Amino acid sequence: MKSAEDNFTALKEGKPFKRCYDDVAETFRSKPTGNRVLGFVCSYCPYKLPCWGRDKLQLLPQQQSKGKNPKWVWYTSVTNPREETEEFNGG
């Protein structure tokens, strides 16, 4: 976590920094989805928003899940978004 703190200091001071981890290819049911997500350490890092960019990082429901309560995932890139299913509106 030391390098994460160093990065945060660099971010605060507007200095260049090197991320300590890469994002990872998302898989769903063992298949790549085409989306990219934060790895385990970054997803729990308190500096993830300034580190990855508030305009880039998105906390979204797991995009391929058809469940009612999908888990929430930090996405760095969404090229394969969730398909919206039309809900029955009673006719």
Query: Could you list the residues that contact ligand SF4 (CB under 6 A)?
Result: 4, 7, 19-21, 41-42, 45, 47-48, 51
At 26, phi and psi to the nearest 5?
A: -75, 140
**Rounded to whole angstroms, how far apart are CA atoms 74 and 69?**
16
Q: Which is nearer to ligand SF4, 21 or 34 (CB)?
A: 21
| 42 vs 73 by CB, closer to ligand SF4 | 42
Q: How many CA atoms lie within 13 A of 68 on its CB side?
A: 0
- Min dist CB 40 to ligand SF4, Å, is 10
Q: Whose Cβ is closer to ligand SF4: residue 12's or residue 27's?
A: 12
